[in-house]
Every structure is written in structure tokens, then in C-alpha cells.
Amino acid sequence: MTLDHLEPPVRGSAPAHARRAVTLAGDVAVLVALAWWATGLTWGTGGREPHVLSIGVALTAVAAVLVRPWRRLPRLVSLATLAPGVAGFLVCAFAPTGWAGADAAASWVYAGLVAAVAAAWARDERRRALLLCVAVLAPLGTFAEGWLAWWGGGNAAQPFVGTFYWHNQEAAFLLMGALCGLAIAVTAGSALRPLGWLAVALCGAGVFLTTSRGAMMALYGALTLLVVLGLARRAWRLSLAAAIAGAAAFVTATVLSGPPFFTHGGGALAGASARAQSGETLGANSGHRLDDWSQAVHVFLRWPLTGVGFHGFASGSALVDQGGKGSLTPFAHNGFLQLFVDGGVLLGAVALAALAVATLAIGRGLRPAFRTGSWTPVVLATAVLAGALHSAIDFDWSYPALLSGFGLLLVLAAPAVAAAPAASARWDRLVPALWAVVVVLAVIGAWHGGFPLSVQVTGAR
């Protein structure tokens, strides 16, 4: 199926065979870009190693040239995907940390570009199903890549860190895989249900093995919500599927943490229990987060317009701590607060406005889903909620793979975008020009990777 029948011919359109060739080239470019997101970028420390994000931006930009999302998407959606990246580089231009935060700004460009291309491309059932499979296969890939190293450690209580090399963010990615897998599993008539249940079992088990209590709560909170929704709507299949998913994740984690893989069975919660016994209790970690959130508010009040700049939280918090040491970590452990710490009102308001556009679209899609009993959009909306809740207690969005993955989730949870009305010639020139500027900046800014976690802020502005 091509997109030719979904929209009227545009001004100066080429013959049918030429349009088919462009459509095929666009399909290939999109699949290559998605394959890089699922492998090279994700396996490259979640996109923070040198070059991997730059390659991802470049590959997705090629797909954008062929798919032309600025012509296929409504203007509001097109702006919602473009604006956070533009705001990110404006932060680099005016905030204290300046160009040192270009890799983080590039992450916002990449996330918006991936979402724009995916929304413009996946507008029929086959392509949306393929996009959902990518959202499942990528977390499964990180689990497979990290499994041998974790198993070889010989300690089932050791946190599973996968390819993110930090357990909480690996858990956030596996959380997406488990819930997207459940979305496939409840899709009526889908031949891909075995893949869905495999992702539910392995990615759900991986959440336990990471020892991330926040991800466990997000996963089981989402599943509980689905059970309740199913009972309320008398959708027994949805409630049963969510209950089975919860059991499958726990049982698989128990099996993987015991014989024959490990000499002594540790159980699904062995790692979380070991962390608590070493002093990393839920209460202690919650206290640290409350301190970080308080510091984040103070930093924002000091630099309300542009924020302190990307990677400036630790140093900036020390400046406003009245002689104290400030935050002990480089992150606010809350993605929403981090927006205002890094970019003030400039980035925070723009990113939240873009999120609001996506949320409204998801909400509109849920009405017919409930009416017709199509539960896939409901599960995907729950996955978005779970991802947002986990990001509200950690620094998930500092990883390009997780930020762009959340963008893909928003696209999947929202209804397919209808054909946009013909744009003006000025719009057709302005939006691609803005994309070209931020793409070039992103490729250059992300080239050396995203590991400068703390940049020194030397004085007040």
C-alpha cells in the first residue's frame, strides 16, 4: 500500500511511476532510520556515545526529505515536532552553558524529527503495525544485547543495565517494550501476537532484573489500570490479557534469575531486596529526589527565561545554594522539571505545548476506541502514561533513545494523521529551511557524544 491514494496530487506533481519510486525510496529511508534507532543508537549507550546521534539525525533527515512531513502533517502537528528542537538551540545561544549543551539540543531535534517522519509515514494500518513492531523489537534487542554480560556476572541480584549501562533507564526502555508488546497481543486478528507476548514476558522480566522500583510500579500501575478499565467496560479479554502480562513478567523474571541460569534462585525481587539492604531504600531514594526537585525549582527561579543551560544543573544549583554544595547529581530526576532547569520558559513551555498537542490527539482517539472495543490504542495510551510517570521521577529524557522513543509512543497512541490541506508556498519553504538549520546544528553538536554531564557555570547572569 502506498500513500498515493491517501492524498490528492500536489501542485506540480510528477507522473504516477515517479511518485511510486519516491514512495518506495521513502519507505526504505524510513526503515533504515528506524533500524538505526533500534540498534546503533540504542546500543550506543542509549544514544550518548560519539557519532551515533549524529548518524541518527542524518538518516532521519534523509527520510524526511523523501516523506516531506511538512506537507503531510497538519500545521499544528508539524510545528509541535519542530519547535522543541528550535527552542533547544536557542537555549544554547543564550543560556550560560552555551554550545556545551549542543548534544542535548540535538536530542530534541532528533526526537521531533523521528516523530514527524513516523507520523507522516505511518498513516495506514500496515505501516502503523510495522512501527509498533519496531517499538517492540528495539527493547527486545537491548535485552538480548545485555543478557550475556549480566548472566556472566554470576550474581542474579546485580542490576541488569543492558545497553544503557544504567539500570533505571534500561528499565524505562523495557517498560515501553512490555506495554507495546501487550498492545500487539490484544490486537484483534493480529498474526504478530506471539511477538507481543514474547516482549511482554522478556521485557517485563527485564524490568524486574534492572531492580528499578519506579519502572516496576509504572508497569504494574499500567496493568492494574487496564484490568480496571476492562472490568468497567466488561472487556474481559483486556482485563485477562493485562493480568496474564503481569504474571508472565514476574514468572519469567523468577525463572531467569534462578536455575539453570544461576546456581541459587534469587527470585524476581532479589535485586531490589539487595539494593534495599545496602541502604538504597525507597524512602532514601525518595528523599534524594525531593532534594533534587527543590534545587531544580531554585535554579529555574534564578534563570527563568533560558534556564541554566543543558548540563548546568549541578553547577548552577551550587551557585544558588547559599554556600552549600548544591545537587549531588547532574540531573533533576524529573524530566518535566529538567525542561525548565535546562531551558527555562523557552524550552519548558514549548515542549509542554508540543506534549499537549499530542495528548489532545490521543484523547480524541480514545473515544472511538472505547466505543468500538479496539483496545490497542488504549494500551498504547497507558504506555504513554507509564513512560511519562517514570520520566517524572528520573532522567530518562537525557538519553536520545528514550526521548525519541517517547515521541514514537505518542505517534503510535494517537490516531493516524489525516491528509493535510495543501500548504502555501511560503510554508513549504519556511519549515524545510528551519529543519535544515537545526539538523545541521544537531549533526555537528552531537558528533562527540553526550557525556559532558556537568558543565561549570562560573557566575550569575
Tens-level pLDDT at each residue, the chain (461 residues): 344 444 444 444 557 777 788 889 999 999 999 999 999 999 999 999 999 999 999 999 999 999 999 999 999 999 999 999 999 999 999 999 999 999 999 999 999 999 999 999 999 999 999 999 999 999 999 999 999 999 999 899 899 999 999 999 999 999 999 999 999 999 977 899 999 999 999 999 999 999 999 999 999 999 999 999 999 999 999 999 999 999 999 999 999 999 889 987 678 888 888 887 787 888 888 888 999 999 999 999 999 999 999 999 999 999 997 767 788 889 999 999 999 999 999 999 999 999 999 999 999 999 999 998 899 999 999 999 999 999 999 999 999 999 999 999 999 999 998 766 766 888 889 999 999 999 999 999 999 988 777 888 876 44
Number of H helices, E strands in the chain: 18, 0
CB atoms within 10 A of CB 214: 23
Q: Is the dihedral of CA 44, 335, 89, 63 positive or negative?
A: positive
pLDDT of residue 433: 96
Of residues 61, 115, 112, the one with CA closest to residue 89? 112
CB atoms within 10 A of CB 259: 9
**How big is the CA angle at 441 (ends 435 and 444), to the nearest 5 degrees?**
135
d(CA 45, CA 403): 13
Do residues 343 and 313 touch, judged by C-beta distance below 8 A? no
Do residues 408 and 427 touch, judged by C-beta distance below 8 A? no
The H or E element that residue 413 is part of is: helix 400-413
Q: Is the dihedral of CA 430, 434, 436, 437 positive or negative?
A: positive
- DSSP three-state, residue 49: coil
**How big is the CA angle at 438 (ends 22 and 33), to the nearest 5 degrees?**
40
d(CA 76, CA 70): 10
Q: CB under 8 Å to 287, separation ≥6 — which residues?
A: none
pLDDT of residue 69: 95
0.75 cut: is pTM over it?
Answer: yes
d(CA 418, CA 439): 26
Do residues 181 and 136 touch, judged by C-beta distance below 8 A? yes
- DSSP three-state, residue 26: helix
d(CA 376, CA 369): 8
Single-letter amino acid, residue 124: D
51 DSSP assignment: T
